[in-house]
Amino acid sequence: MKRLLVDVLPLPNETPPQNLEWSPVVIDLLRATTTIVTALYHGAAGIFPVTTIEQARQEVEQDGLLAGERGGLPPEGFHFGNSPLEMIEKGVQGRRLWFTTSNGTRALAASRRYGLPLVVSMLNLESTVSCLVRRGKPVLLVCSGNSGSESREDTFLAGAVALALSQHESNAYRLSKRAETAVDLYLEGKDDVTAFLLKCPHGEKLVRIGMEADVKYAAQENVCPVVVCQQSDGWLRPQSLT
């Protein structure tokens, strides 16, 4: 049996050397994909990602909510920032969100050239891996990065996904060199994920602007068992786990 490739894009504008029918997975651990997973797990009806603040303001519907950040903080007039804890505390049950962030929503837009992407965080790691195994395609892990630079926390999560796939009982996956490098980073920090994230440059920045609780929340594993996929109409919605 030919094994399926798992590869990592350190930045969303890069191109994989292989031309395959990928199952793309977008990663922005601090914090966009963590926020998306949290909002949908806690009952949001859907999240519509856009790349600019202006687009979000123009397209939001009358009963919709604006959410997102620039420089880690919510733009003027937005109902929410890019905080998963804020989604829980304020409540998003049954609401639709128009969402824009500095890096994560751009990565979602870029990843669509490979197919309709899944969204992963530490919170839904196991559920996402199970979905990828069911799909049975090569996996492309698209890291959002941070303002055009590679992100340690995104590579770390890519390593977690790659390792889980490589160790799956199906023995269906093989890792690219970039995926192996990501696994090495994951193994370096996996014993204390919170400490690892707090020491990452972006984690340190979030602490400086008062978002340490978000960083600690993002370190939790498998507390939001939901599969999140972008639909053909652009909306991010939860999928059945079966």
The pLDDT tens digits along the chain (242 residues) read 789 999 999 999 999 999 999 999 999 999 999 999 999 999 999 999 999 999 999 999 999 999 999 999 999 999 999 999 999 999 999 999 999 999 999 999 999 999 999 999 999 999 999 999 999 999 999 999 999 999 999 999 999 999 999 999 999 999 999 999 999 999 999 999 999 999 999 999 999 999 999 999 999 999 999 999 999 999 999 987 75
The third-level CATH classification (topology) of the domain covering 4-226 is putative 2-phosphosulfolactate phosphatase (3.90.1560)
Find the DSSP H helices in the chain: 32-41, 53-59, 84-90, 104-111, 125-135, 152-166, 177-189, 193-199, 201-208, 212-218
Total length of the chain: 242
The whole-angstrom separation of Cα 125 and Cα 228 is: 11
Q: How many CB atoms lie within 10 A of CB 192?
A: 11
> pLDDT value at position 18?
92
Q: How many CB atoms lie within 10 A of CB 212?
A: 15
> pLDDT value at position 242?
57
Residue-range domain boundaries for the chain = 4-226
- Are 29 and 197 in contact by the 8 Å Cβ rule? The answer is yes
- Are 101 and 69 in contact by the 8 Å Cβ rule? The answer is yes
